[in-house]
A and B are shown apart, each in its own frame.
Chain A
Amino acid sequence: MNYWGIWAIYRHEMERTFRTVGQSIASPVISTVLYFIVFGTAIGSRISDVDGVQYGAFIIPGLIMLTILGQSISNASFGIYFPRFTGTIYEILSAPLSFVEICIGYVGAAATKSLMIGLIVLITANFFVTFYIQHPFWMMFFLIMTCVTFSLLGFIIGIWADGFEKLQLIPLLIINPLTFLGGSFYSINMLPGIWQKISLLNPVVYLVSGFRWSFYENSDVSITTSVVMITVFMFLCLAIIAWIFKTGFRLKN
Protein backbone atom coordinates (compact mmCIF):
# COMPACT_ATOMS: atom_id res chain seq x y z
CA MET A 1 0.00 0.00 0.00
CA ASN A 2 1.36 3.41 -1.00
CA TYR A 3 0.39 5.32 2.17
CA TRP A 4 2.56 8.33 1.33
CA GLY A 5 0.86 8.60 -2.05
CA ILE A 6 -2.63 8.47 -0.52
CA TRP A 7 -1.65 11.03 2.09
CA ALA A 8 -0.17 13.33 -0.58
CA ILE A 9 -3.39 13.35 -2.64
CA TYR A 10 -5.59 13.72 0.45
CA ARG A 11 -3.55 16.59 1.87
CA HIS A 12 -3.30 18.31 -1.52
CA GLU A 13 -7.10 18.22 -1.87
CA MET A 14 -7.72 19.38 1.69
CA GLU A 15 -5.27 22.25 1.28
CA ARG A 16 -7.19 23.32 -1.82
CA THR A 17 -10.34 23.34 0.30
CA PHE A 18 -8.81 25.53 2.97
CA ARG A 19 -7.29 27.84 0.36
CA THR A 20 -10.82 28.57 -0.87
CA VAL A 21 -12.61 28.34 2.45
CA GLY A 22 -15.26 30.94 1.51
CA GLN A 23 -16.36 29.05 -1.57
CA SER A 24 -15.81 25.58 -0.14
CA ILE A 25 -17.35 25.84 3.30
CA ALA A 26 -19.00 29.20 3.98
CA SER A 27 -21.11 29.19 0.81
CA PRO A 28 -22.95 25.87 1.35
CA VAL A 29 -23.41 26.64 5.05
CA ILE A 30 -24.99 30.03 4.29
CA SER A 31 -27.29 28.48 1.66
CA THR A 32 -28.50 25.89 4.16
CA VAL A 33 -29.03 28.50 6.85
CA LEU A 34 -31.25 30.40 4.40
CA TYR A 35 -33.29 27.21 3.92
CA PHE A 36 -33.73 27.00 7.70
CA ILE A 37 -34.84 30.63 7.91
CA VAL A 38 -37.31 30.38 5.00
CA PHE A 39 -38.69 26.84 5.34
CA GLY A 40 -38.02 26.18 8.99
CA THR A 41 -38.76 29.44 10.74
CA ALA A 42 -40.85 31.62 8.38
CA ILE A 43 -43.04 29.13 6.45
CA GLY A 44 -42.50 26.25 8.86
CA SER A 45 -44.24 28.06 11.72
CA ARG A 46 -47.49 27.89 9.68
CA ILE A 47 -47.12 24.18 8.83
CA SER A 48 -48.43 21.56 11.21
CA ASP A 49 -46.21 18.87 12.73
CA VAL A 50 -45.15 15.94 10.52
CA ASP A 51 -45.26 12.52 12.16
CA GLY A 52 -45.29 14.27 15.52
CA VAL A 53 -42.18 16.36 14.76
CA GLN A 54 -42.23 20.15 14.45
CA TYR A 55 -41.75 21.01 10.72
CA GLY A 56 -38.60 23.10 11.35
CA ALA A 57 -36.97 20.12 13.06
CA PHE A 58 -38.43 17.62 10.57
CA ILE A 59 -36.56 19.14 7.64
CA ILE A 60 -33.13 19.18 9.33
CA PRO A 61 -32.07 15.66 8.24
CA GLY A 62 -33.35 16.32 4.71
CA LEU A 63 -31.55 19.64 4.46
CA ILE A 64 -28.29 18.13 5.66
CA MET A 65 -28.69 15.34 3.09
CA LEU A 66 -29.49 17.89 0.39
CA THR A 67 -26.28 19.75 1.18
CA ILE A 68 -23.91 16.82 1.54
CA LEU A 69 -25.20 15.06 -1.57
CA GLY A 70 -24.47 18.12 -3.69
CA GLN A 71 -21.19 18.88 -1.94
CA SER A 72 -19.89 15.31 -2.16
CA ILE A 73 -20.58 15.15 -5.86
CA SER A 74 -19.16 18.57 -6.69
CA ASN A 75 -16.07 18.17 -4.47
CA ALA A 76 -15.10 14.80 -5.86
CA SER A 77 -15.98 15.50 -9.49
CA PHE A 78 -14.04 18.78 -9.51
CA GLY A 79 -11.17 17.19 -7.57
CA ILE A 80 -10.45 14.63 -10.31
CA TYR A 81 -11.68 16.66 -13.29
CA PHE A 82 -9.42 19.66 -12.62
CA PRO A 83 -6.11 17.73 -12.90
CA ARG A 84 -7.47 16.13 -16.07
CA PHE A 85 -8.31 19.56 -17.42
CA THR A 86 -4.93 21.09 -16.53
CA GLY A 87 -2.94 17.96 -17.42
CA THR A 88 -1.45 17.41 -13.95
CA ILE A 89 -3.18 14.01 -13.87
CA TYR A 90 -0.09 12.61 -15.64
CA GLU A 91 1.67 12.63 -12.30
CA ILE A 92 -1.01 10.57 -10.57
CA LEU A 93 -1.25 8.06 -13.42
CA SER A 94 2.51 7.58 -13.68
CA ALA A 95 2.95 7.13 -9.91
CA PRO A 96 2.98 3.67 -8.32
CA LEU A 97 -0.59 4.03 -7.09
CA SER A 98 -3.45 1.55 -7.45
CA PHE A 99 -6.97 2.72 -8.30
CA VAL A 100 -8.01 2.00 -4.72
CA GLU A 101 -5.28 4.31 -3.42
CA ILE A 102 -6.13 7.09 -5.88
CA CYS A 103 -9.77 6.70 -4.87
CA ILE A 104 -9.02 6.83 -1.16
CA GLY A 105 -7.03 10.03 -1.68
CA TYR A 106 -9.56 11.94 -3.79
CA VAL A 107 -12.79 10.46 -2.44
CA GLY A 108 -11.52 10.55 1.14
CA ALA A 109 -10.79 14.28 0.85
CA ALA A 110 -14.12 15.04 -0.84
CA ALA A 111 -16.03 13.01 1.76
CA THR A 112 -14.13 14.65 4.63
CA LYS A 113 -15.05 18.07 3.35
CA SER A 114 -18.72 17.11 2.95
CA LEU A 115 -18.76 15.58 6.41
CA MET A 116 -17.33 18.79 7.85
CA ILE A 117 -20.02 20.81 6.08
CA GLY A 118 -22.74 18.40 7.23
CA LEU A 119 -21.64 18.70 10.85
CA ILE A 120 -21.33 22.50 10.61
CA VAL A 121 -24.89 22.65 9.21
CA LEU A 122 -26.08 20.41 12.04
CA ILE A 123 -24.50 22.69 14.64
CA THR A 124 -25.86 25.78 12.87
CA ALA A 125 -29.37 24.28 12.83
CA ASN A 126 -29.22 24.27 16.62
CA PHE A 127 -29.42 28.06 16.57
CA PHE A 128 -32.71 28.06 14.64
CA VAL A 129 -34.73 25.05 15.74
CA THR A 130 -34.83 22.58 18.59
CA PHE A 131 -34.14 19.00 17.60
CA TYR A 132 -32.83 15.77 19.08
CA ILE A 133 -30.83 12.80 17.81
CA GLN A 134 -32.16 9.42 18.98
CA HIS A 135 -29.42 7.29 17.44
CA PRO A 136 -26.15 9.24 17.16
CA PHE A 137 -24.23 6.17 15.91
CA TRP A 138 -26.65 5.59 13.01
CA MET A 139 -26.76 9.31 12.33
CA MET A 140 -22.96 9.28 11.85
CA PHE A 141 -23.20 6.03 9.88
CA PHE A 142 -25.65 7.50 7.37
CA LEU A 143 -23.75 10.78 7.24
CA ILE A 144 -20.40 9.11 6.52
CA MET A 145 -21.82 6.51 4.13
CA THR A 146 -23.64 9.19 2.14
CA CYS A 147 -20.55 11.40 1.99
CA VAL A 148 -18.38 8.51 0.79
CA THR A 149 -20.89 7.02 -1.65
CA PHE A 150 -21.79 10.28 -3.33
CA SER A 151 -18.14 11.30 -3.44
CA LEU A 152 -17.55 8.03 -5.32
CA LEU A 153 -20.35 9.02 -7.68
CA GLY A 154 -18.81 12.47 -8.08
CA PHE A 155 -15.44 10.85 -8.83
CA ILE A 156 -17.08 8.83 -11.62
CA ILE A 157 -18.73 11.97 -13.01
CA GLY A 158 -15.38 13.80 -12.88
CA ILE A 159 -13.78 11.07 -14.99
CA TRP A 160 -16.72 10.75 -17.38
CA ALA A 161 -17.05 14.49 -18.03
CA ASP A 162 -15.07 15.90 -20.93
CA GLY A 163 -16.07 19.50 -20.34
CA PHE A 164 -17.25 21.80 -17.55
CA GLU A 165 -20.82 21.61 -18.88
CA LYS A 166 -20.95 17.84 -18.48
CA LEU A 167 -19.48 18.20 -15.01
CA GLN A 168 -22.63 20.11 -14.02
CA LEU A 169 -25.07 18.11 -16.13
CA ILE A 170 -25.74 15.11 -13.89
CA PRO A 171 -25.81 17.07 -10.60
CA LEU A 172 -28.23 19.63 -12.05
CA LEU A 173 -30.49 17.43 -14.14
CA ILE A 174 -30.56 14.22 -12.12
CA ILE A 175 -29.21 14.57 -8.59
CA ASN A 176 -30.94 17.85 -7.69
CA PRO A 177 -34.44 16.71 -8.77
CA LEU A 178 -33.95 13.35 -7.04
CA THR A 179 -32.86 15.11 -3.87
CA PHE A 180 -35.75 17.57 -3.85
CA LEU A 181 -38.21 14.74 -4.58
CA GLY A 182 -36.52 12.41 -2.11
CA GLY A 183 -38.46 13.58 0.91
CA SER A 184 -36.11 16.29 2.15
CA PHE A 185 -38.99 18.65 2.84
CA TYR A 186 -41.84 16.18 3.32
CA SER A 187 -42.63 12.61 4.25
CA ILE A 188 -43.52 10.49 1.23
CA ASN A 189 -46.53 9.30 3.21
CA MET A 190 -47.96 12.76 2.49
CA LEU A 191 -48.02 11.94 -1.27
CA PRO A 192 -50.94 10.30 -3.16
CA GLY A 193 -50.66 6.47 -3.44
CA ILE A 194 -49.16 6.21 -6.91
CA TRP A 195 -46.52 8.88 -6.18
CA GLN A 196 -45.54 7.05 -3.02
CA LYS A 197 -44.75 3.99 -5.13
CA ILE A 198 -42.89 6.02 -7.76
CA SER A 199 -40.89 7.71 -5.00
CA LEU A 200 -39.59 4.32 -3.89
CA LEU A 201 -37.61 4.19 -7.15
CA ASN A 202 -35.68 7.23 -5.97
CA PRO A 203 -32.53 6.09 -4.08
CA VAL A 204 -32.36 9.38 -2.19
CA VAL A 205 -35.62 8.48 -0.42
CA TYR A 206 -33.81 5.64 1.39
CA LEU A 207 -30.98 7.93 2.50
CA VAL A 208 -33.21 10.70 3.79
CA SER A 209 -35.54 8.20 5.42
CA GLY A 210 -32.75 6.34 7.20
CA PHE A 211 -31.06 9.56 8.26
CA ARG A 212 -34.32 10.99 9.58
CA TRP A 213 -34.96 7.77 11.48
CA SER A 214 -31.65 8.25 13.33
CA PHE A 215 -33.00 11.61 14.53
CA TYR A 216 -36.69 11.01 15.28
CA GLU A 217 -37.21 7.27 14.89
CA ASN A 218 -39.76 7.76 12.14
CA SER A 219 -39.08 6.78 8.58
CA ASP A 220 -40.74 6.23 5.20
CA VAL A 221 -39.01 2.89 4.63
CA SER A 222 -37.44 0.41 7.05
CA ILE A 223 -33.99 1.20 8.42
CA THR A 224 -32.67 -2.14 7.12
CA THR A 225 -33.75 -1.28 3.59
CA SER A 226 -32.01 2.09 3.88
CA VAL A 227 -28.75 0.49 5.07
CA VAL A 228 -28.86 -2.15 2.33
CA MET A 229 -29.60 0.43 -0.37
CA ILE A 230 -26.74 2.76 0.56
CA THR A 231 -24.32 -0.17 0.84
CA VAL A 232 -25.37 -1.58 -2.55
CA PHE A 233 -25.00 1.87 -4.12
CA MET A 234 -21.52 2.26 -2.65
CA PHE A 235 -20.33 -1.09 -4.03
CA LEU A 236 -21.88 -0.28 -7.40
CA CYS A 237 -19.84 2.95 -7.55
CA LEU A 238 -16.67 1.08 -6.50
CA ALA A 239 -17.26 -1.50 -9.24
CA ILE A 240 -17.64 1.23 -11.86
CA ILE A 241 -14.43 2.93 -10.69
CA ALA A 242 -12.55 -0.40 -10.78
CA TRP A 243 -13.77 -0.87 -14.36
CA ILE A 244 -12.67 2.69 -15.27
CA PHE A 245 -9.13 2.10 -14.03
CA LYS A 246 -8.96 -1.37 -15.56
CA THR A 247 -10.01 -0.20 -19.00
CA GLY A 248 -8.45 3.26 -18.76
CA PHE A 249 -11.79 4.83 -19.76
CA ARG A 250 -11.30 8.59 -20.32
CA LEU A 251 -7.99 8.40 -18.44
CA LYS A 252 -5.60 6.27 -20.46
CA ASN A 253 -7.20 5.84 -23.88
Chain B
Amino acid sequence: MTSAISVQNLHKTYDNGFKALDDVSLDVERGEIVALLGPNGAGKTTLISTICGIVNATSGKIDVFGYDNQKDYRKARSCIGLVPQELTTDAFETVWHTVSFSRHLFGKSSKPEYIESLLKSLSLWDKKDNQIRMLSGGMKRRVMIAKALSHEPDILFLDEPTAGVDVELRKSMWQLVRKLRETGVTIILTTHYLEEAEEMADRIGVINNGKMIVIEDKKKLMKKLGKKELVLELYSPISEIPEALSGFDLHLKQDGHQIIFTYDPAKQDNGVVRLLDQLKAHSVKCKDFNTRQSTLEEIFVQLIGEK
Protein backbone atom coordinates (compact mmCIF):
# COMPACT_ATOMS: atom_id res chain seq x y z
CA MET B 1 0.00 0.00 0.00
CA THR B 2 1.33 3.45 -0.90
CA SER B 3 2.57 5.57 1.99
CA ALA B 4 0.68 8.72 2.84
CA ILE B 5 3.93 10.62 2.51
CA SER B 6 7.24 9.49 1.10
CA VAL B 7 10.22 11.83 1.30
CA GLN B 8 13.48 10.72 -0.27
CA ASN B 9 16.88 12.37 0.09
CA LEU B 10 15.46 15.83 0.54
CA HIS B 11 17.88 18.76 0.54
CA LYS B 12 17.05 22.40 0.97
CA THR B 13 19.55 25.24 0.92
CA TYR B 14 18.05 28.74 1.08
CA ASP B 15 19.27 31.57 -1.15
CA ASN B 16 21.30 32.98 1.76
CA GLY B 17 23.26 29.72 1.90
CA PHE B 18 21.57 28.32 5.00
CA LYS B 19 21.26 24.55 4.74
CA ALA B 20 17.88 23.80 6.30
CA LEU B 21 17.48 20.17 5.21
CA ASP B 22 20.31 17.74 4.66
CA ASP B 23 19.39 14.44 3.04
CA VAL B 24 16.12 13.89 4.89
CA SER B 25 14.14 10.74 4.15
CA LEU B 26 10.85 9.88 5.76
CA ASP B 27 7.86 7.62 5.21
CA VAL B 28 4.54 8.28 6.88
CA GLU B 29 1.94 5.54 6.79
CA ARG B 30 -1.77 6.17 6.37
CA GLY B 31 -3.63 6.96 9.54
CA GLU B 32 -0.62 7.33 11.81
CA ILE B 33 0.43 10.28 13.93
CA VAL B 34 4.05 11.29 13.57
CA ALA B 35 5.61 13.89 15.84
CA LEU B 36 8.69 15.78 14.67
CA LEU B 37 10.87 17.06 17.46
CA GLY B 38 13.84 19.32 17.24
CA PRO B 39 15.28 22.55 18.59
CA ASN B 40 14.53 25.93 16.99
CA GLY B 41 15.96 26.18 13.48
CA ALA B 42 16.36 22.39 13.20
CA GLY B 43 14.45 22.23 9.90
CA LYS B 44 11.01 21.03 11.03
CA THR B 45 9.04 23.88 9.46
CA THR B 46 11.14 23.78 6.26
CA LEU B 47 10.39 20.06 5.94
CA ILE B 48 6.65 20.66 6.32
CA SER B 49 6.72 23.68 3.99
CA THR B 50 8.56 21.71 1.32
CA ILE B 51 6.07 18.84 1.45
CA CYS B 52 3.16 21.30 1.25
CA GLY B 53 4.68 23.13 -1.75
CA ILE B 54 5.35 26.42 0.02
CA VAL B 55 9.12 26.06 -0.31
CA ASN B 56 10.98 24.60 -3.32
CA ALA B 57 13.35 21.75 -2.51
CA THR B 58 16.94 22.00 -3.73
CA SER B 59 16.88 18.28 -4.53
CA GLY B 60 15.06 15.13 -3.50
CA LYS B 61 11.66 13.62 -4.11
CA ILE B 62 8.34 13.94 -2.31
CA ASP B 63 5.28 11.79 -2.99
CA VAL B 64 1.89 12.31 -1.37
CA PHE B 65 -0.28 9.18 -1.69
CA GLY B 66 1.95 8.28 -4.63
CA TYR B 67 1.56 11.65 -6.35
CA ASP B 68 4.78 13.55 -7.05
CA ASN B 69 4.42 16.92 -5.34
CA GLN B 70 5.99 18.69 -8.35
CA LYS B 71 4.54 16.87 -11.36
CA ASP B 72 1.16 16.01 -9.81
CA TYR B 73 1.07 19.01 -7.51
CA ARG B 74 -2.70 19.47 -7.79
CA LYS B 75 -3.48 15.94 -6.59
CA ALA B 76 -0.70 15.98 -4.00
CA ARG B 77 -1.69 19.33 -2.48
CA SER B 78 -5.41 18.50 -2.50
CA CYS B 79 -4.72 15.78 0.06
CA ILE B 80 -2.99 18.11 2.51
CA GLY B 81 -4.23 20.57 5.12
CA LEU B 82 -1.71 22.78 6.90
CA VAL B 83 -1.95 24.62 10.21
CA PRO B 84 1.06 26.94 10.20
CA GLN B 85 3.00 28.01 13.24
CA GLU B 86 2.05 31.66 13.00
CA LEU B 87 -1.52 32.89 13.38
CA THR B 88 -1.66 34.31 9.89
CA THR B 89 -5.19 35.22 8.89
CA ASP B 90 -6.90 38.18 7.29
CA ALA B 91 -7.91 40.13 10.40
CA PHE B 92 -10.94 41.78 8.79
CA GLU B 93 -12.53 38.61 7.43
CA THR B 94 -15.26 36.80 9.33
CA VAL B 95 -14.68 33.26 10.53
CA TRP B 96 -17.24 31.87 8.09
CA HIS B 97 -15.75 33.71 5.12
CA THR B 98 -12.16 32.80 5.81
CA VAL B 99 -12.95 29.10 6.24
CA SER B 100 -15.08 29.10 3.06
CA PHE B 101 -12.26 30.95 1.25
CA SER B 102 -9.81 28.19 2.19
CA ARG B 103 -12.19 25.48 0.95
CA HIS B 104 -12.62 27.22 -2.40
CA LEU B 105 -8.85 27.67 -2.83
CA PHE B 106 -8.59 23.90 -2.87
CA GLY B 107 -11.05 23.73 -5.73
CA LYS B 108 -14.01 22.56 -3.65
CA SER B 109 -17.49 23.96 -4.07
CA SER B 110 -19.39 25.47 -1.13
CA LYS B 111 -20.65 22.95 1.39
CA PRO B 112 -22.30 24.96 4.17
CA GLU B 113 -23.36 21.89 6.15
CA TYR B 114 -19.75 20.68 6.36
CA ILE B 115 -18.41 24.11 7.37
CA GLU B 116 -21.15 24.31 9.97
CA SER B 117 -20.27 20.93 11.49
CA LEU B 118 -16.56 21.82 11.38
CA LEU B 119 -17.09 25.11 13.18
CA LYS B 120 -19.32 23.42 15.73
CA SER B 121 -16.74 20.71 16.41
CA LEU B 122 -14.15 23.43 17.06
CA SER B 123 -16.53 25.47 19.26
CA LEU B 124 -16.45 28.30 16.72
CA TRP B 125 -20.06 28.23 15.58
CA ASP B 126 -21.21 31.13 17.75
CA LYS B 127 -18.25 33.19 16.43
CA LYS B 128 -18.91 32.50 12.75
CA ASP B 129 -19.89 36.10 11.97
CA ASN B 130 -17.14 37.68 14.05
CA GLN B 131 -14.14 39.29 12.40
CA ILE B 132 -10.98 37.37 13.20
CA ARG B 133 -9.35 40.38 14.84
CA MET B 134 -12.06 40.21 17.51
CA LEU B 135 -11.09 36.67 18.56
CA SER B 136 -8.75 35.53 21.32
CA GLY B 137 -5.44 33.81 20.49
CA GLY B 138 -6.90 30.38 21.25
CA MET B 139 -9.91 31.02 19.03
CA LYS B 140 -7.63 32.19 16.22
CA ARG B 141 -5.69 28.94 16.55
CA ARG B 142 -8.97 27.03 16.14
CA VAL B 143 -9.79 29.11 13.06
CA MET B 144 -6.44 28.08 11.57
CA ILE B 145 -7.35 24.44 12.17
CA ALA B 146 -10.80 24.96 10.65
CA LYS B 147 -9.18 26.51 7.56
CA ALA B 148 -6.81 23.57 7.23
CA LEU B 149 -9.68 21.09 7.51
CA SER B 150 -12.07 23.05 5.30
CA HIS B 151 -11.33 20.98 2.19
CA GLU B 152 -11.58 17.62 4.01
CA PRO B 153 -7.90 16.65 3.66
CA ASP B 154 -6.49 13.15 4.24
CA ILE B 155 -3.28 14.49 5.74
CA LEU B 156 -3.03 17.24 8.32
CA PHE B 157 0.17 19.06 9.19
CA LEU B 158 0.18 20.81 12.52
CA ASP B 159 3.19 23.06 12.94
CA GLU B 160 3.48 23.62 16.68
CA PRO B 161 -0.29 23.65 17.15
CA THR B 162 -0.23 24.26 20.88
CA ALA B 163 2.54 26.86 21.05
CA GLY B 164 1.35 29.61 23.38
CA VAL B 165 -2.05 28.12 24.17
CA ASP B 166 -3.36 27.41 27.64
CA VAL B 167 -3.53 23.94 29.16
CA GLU B 168 -7.27 23.57 28.60
CA LEU B 169 -7.04 24.39 24.92
CA ARG B 170 -4.01 22.15 24.54
CA LYS B 171 -5.97 19.23 25.96
CA SER B 172 -8.91 19.97 23.65
CA MET B 173 -6.48 20.09 20.69
CA TRP B 174 -5.19 16.69 21.63
CA GLN B 175 -8.74 15.39 21.74
CA LEU B 176 -9.39 16.86 18.33
CA VAL B 177 -6.27 15.24 16.89
CA ARG B 178 -7.33 11.85 18.27
CA LYS B 179 -10.80 12.33 16.82
CA LEU B 180 -9.33 13.18 13.42
CA ARG B 181 -7.15 10.12 13.51
CA GLU B 182 -10.22 7.99 14.20
CA THR B 183 -11.66 9.30 10.93
CA GLY B 184 -8.53 8.10 9.10
CA VAL B 185 -6.65 11.38 8.81
CA THR B 186 -2.87 11.06 8.83
CA ILE B 187 -1.30 13.63 11.14
CA ILE B 188 2.19 15.05 11.23
CA LEU B 189 2.88 17.49 14.01
CA THR B 190 5.89 19.42 15.12
CA THR B 191 6.19 20.40 18.71
CA HIS B 192 8.52 21.65 21.38
CA TYR B 193 6.41 19.96 24.02
CA LEU B 194 7.84 16.50 24.45
CA GLU B 195 4.90 15.64 26.63
CA GLU B 196 2.71 16.30 23.62
CA ALA B 197 4.71 13.96 21.38
CA GLU B 198 4.73 11.31 24.10
CA GLU B 199 0.99 11.64 24.56
CA MET B 200 -0.07 11.78 20.92
CA ALA B 201 2.39 10.18 18.52
CA ASP B 202 2.72 6.66 17.15
CA ARG B 203 6.16 7.48 15.81
CA ILE B 204 8.65 10.15 16.70
CA GLY B 205 11.22 11.78 14.46
CA VAL B 206 14.03 13.92 15.81
CA ILE B 207 15.54 16.56 13.54
CA ASN B 208 18.65 18.54 14.31
CA ASN B 209 20.72 20.77 12.00
CA GLY B 210 18.59 19.70 9.04
CA LYS B 211 19.23 15.98 9.54
CA MET B 212 16.72 13.37 10.62
CA ILE B 213 18.63 11.87 13.53
CA VAL B 214 16.10 9.18 14.26
CA ILE B 215 12.56 8.21 13.33
CA GLU B 216 11.18 5.37 15.31
CA ASP B 217 8.08 3.89 16.86
CA LYS B 218 7.53 5.79 20.11
CA LYS B 219 7.55 2.72 22.35
CA LYS B 220 10.58 1.19 20.60
CA LEU B 221 12.42 4.50 20.78
CA MET B 222 11.80 4.81 24.47
CA LYS B 223 12.79 1.20 25.01
CA LYS B 224 15.89 1.45 22.86
CA LEU B 225 17.21 4.73 24.09
CA GLY B 226 15.48 5.03 27.42
CA LYS B 227 17.37 4.25 30.62
CA LYS B 228 15.78 3.07 33.80
CA GLU B 229 16.60 4.18 37.29
CA LEU B 230 16.36 2.12 40.46
CA VAL B 231 15.92 4.35 43.49
CA LEU B 232 16.90 2.70 46.78
CA GLU B 233 15.82 4.32 50.06
CA LEU B 234 18.37 3.48 52.77
CA TYR B 235 17.72 2.76 56.45
CA SER B 236 20.64 4.86 57.50
CA PRO B 237 22.56 7.36 55.37
CA ILE B 238 25.99 6.60 54.01
CA SER B 239 28.70 9.15 53.27
CA GLU B 240 30.07 7.48 50.14
CA ILE B 241 29.42 4.55 47.80
CA PRO B 242 31.46 1.50 48.95
CA GLU B 243 34.54 0.90 46.78
CA ALA B 244 33.37 -2.59 45.88
CA LEU B 245 30.30 -1.12 44.11
CA SER B 246 32.32 1.11 41.78
CA GLY B 247 31.43 -1.13 38.82
CA PHE B 248 27.80 0.05 38.98
CA ASP B 249 26.46 3.38 37.71
CA LEU B 250 25.48 4.71 41.15
CA HIS B 251 24.81 8.17 42.59
CA LEU B 252 24.15 9.23 46.15
CA LYS B 253 21.24 11.57 46.72
CA GLN B 254 19.23 13.09 49.60
CA ASP B 255 22.32 13.48 51.83
CA GLY B 256 23.17 9.82 51.54
CA HIS B 257 19.60 8.55 52.13
CA GLN B 258 19.13 7.47 48.50
CA ILE B 259 21.18 5.48 46.02
CA ILE B 260 20.22 5.90 42.36
CA PHE B 261 21.23 3.07 40.03
CA THR B 262 20.94 3.80 36.30
CA TYR B 263 20.73 0.73 34.06
CA ASP B 264 19.74 -0.40 30.61
CA PRO B 265 16.49 -2.39 30.87
CA ALA B 266 17.00 -3.95 27.44
CA LYS B 267 20.08 -5.89 28.59
CA GLN B 268 19.72 -9.48 29.72
CA ASP B 269 21.99 -8.87 32.71
CA ASN B 270 20.99 -5.40 33.71
CA GLY B 271 22.87 -5.59 37.04
CA VAL B 272 19.91 -5.17 39.38
CA VAL B 273 20.23 -8.59 41.04
CA ARG B 274 24.01 -8.31 41.37
CA LEU B 275 23.69 -4.85 42.91
CA LEU B 276 21.16 -6.02 45.49
CA ASP B 277 23.46 -8.93 46.40
CA GLN B 278 26.46 -6.60 46.76
CA LEU B 279 24.51 -4.15 48.91
CA LYS B 280 23.51 -6.98 51.24
CA ALA B 281 27.10 -8.22 51.36
CA HIS B 282 28.29 -4.74 52.39
CA SER B 283 25.48 -4.36 54.95
CA VAL B 284 23.81 -1.51 53.15
CA LYS B 285 20.17 -1.98 54.11
CA CYS B 286 17.27 -0.68 52.07
CA LYS B 287 13.84 0.15 53.47
CA ASP B 288 12.15 0.88 50.14
CA PHE B 289 12.80 1.06 46.40
CA ASN B 290 11.15 2.08 43.15
CA THR B 291 12.03 2.27 39.47
CA ARG B 292 11.58 5.11 37.01
CA GLN B 293 11.72 5.09 33.16
CA SER B 294 13.52 7.95 31.35
CA THR B 295 11.14 10.48 29.89
CA LEU B 296 11.09 11.37 26.22
CA GLU B 297 12.57 14.69 27.22
CA GLU B 298 15.65 12.98 28.64
CA ILE B 299 15.96 10.86 25.49
CA PHE B 300 15.62 13.95 23.33
CA VAL B 301 18.29 15.86 25.27
CA GLN B 302 20.54 12.81 25.01
CA LEU B 303 20.02 12.55 21.23
CA ILE B 304 20.57 16.22 20.54
CA GLY B 305 23.61 16.26 22.80
CA GLU B 306 25.20 13.29 21.06
CA LYS B 307 24.99 14.70 17.53
Contacts and interface: CB of A to CB of B under 8 A. Distances in A.
Interface stretch (B81-89, B171-179, B191-199): B81-89
B77 to A, nearest CB: 4
A94 B80 CA distance: 8
A161 interface: no
Interface in B97-112: 101-102, 104-109
A98 B53 CA distance: 12
B104 A8 contact: yes
A90 B105 contact: no
Interface residues of A, number: 25
A97 to B, nearest CB: 7
Nearest to A88: B88
B92 interface: yes
Nearest to B105: A95
A87 B88 contact: yes
Contact of A5 (B84, B104, B147): B104
B104 A90 contact: no
B74 interface: yes
A84 B82 CA distance: 17
Given A87-B86, A95-B106, A96-B107, A253 B15 contact: yes
Nearest to A82: B90
B235 interface: no
A93 interface: yes
Interface in A1-19: 2-5, 7-9, 12, 19
A5 B151 CA distance: 12
Contact of B55 (A86, A88, A252): A252
Contact of A94 (B56, B82, B104, B108): B82
A96 B73 contact: yes
B93 to A, nearest CB: 8
Contacts, number: 71
A227 to B, nearest CB: 35
Nearest to B100: A8
A10 B101 CA distance: 11
Contact of A2 (B14, B80, B107): B107
A248 B105 contact: no
A92 interface: yes
A5 B56 CA distance: 21
Contact of A252 (B56, B74, B80, B109): B56
Interface string B254-291: 00000000000000000000000000000000000000
A8 B105 contact: yes
A165 interface: no
Interface in B123-138: none
B302 to A, nearest CB: 34
Contacts of A8: 101, 104-105
Given A94-B52, A253-B14, A5 B106 contact: yes
B209 interface: no
Nearest to A86: B88
A93 B106 contact: no
A224 B75 CA distance: 44
A12 B101 contact: yes
Nearest to A12: B101
Residue of A19, A96, A247, A248 with most chain B CB atoms under a 10 A cut-off:
A96
B101 A93 contact: no
A224 to B, nearest CB: 40
Contact of B104 (A7, A88, A98, A247): A7
A90 B54 CA distance: 6
Contact of B84 (A7, A90, A98, A253): A90
Contacts of B55: 248, 252-253
A8 B90 CA distance: 14
Contacts of A253: 14-15, 55-56
A248 B89 CA distance: 22
Contacts of A86: 88, 90
A91 B102 contact: yes
B74 A96 contact: yes
Nearest to A102: B105
Given A12-B101, A96-B78, A96-B106, 16 more contacts: A2-B107, A4-B104, A4-B105, A4-B106, A8-B101, A87-B86, A90-B49, A90-B82, A90-B84, A90-B88, A91-B102, A91-B105, A94-B52, A96-B74, A252-B56, A253-B15
16 contacts: A2-B107, A4-B108, A7-B104, A86-B88, A86-B90, A88-B88, A90-B82, A92-B105, A93-B54, A94-B52, A94-B82, A95-B77, A96-B74, A96-B107, A248-B56, A252-B55
Interface of B: 14-15, 49, 52-56, 73-75, 77-78, 80, 82, 84, 86, 88-90, 92, 101-102, 104-109, 147
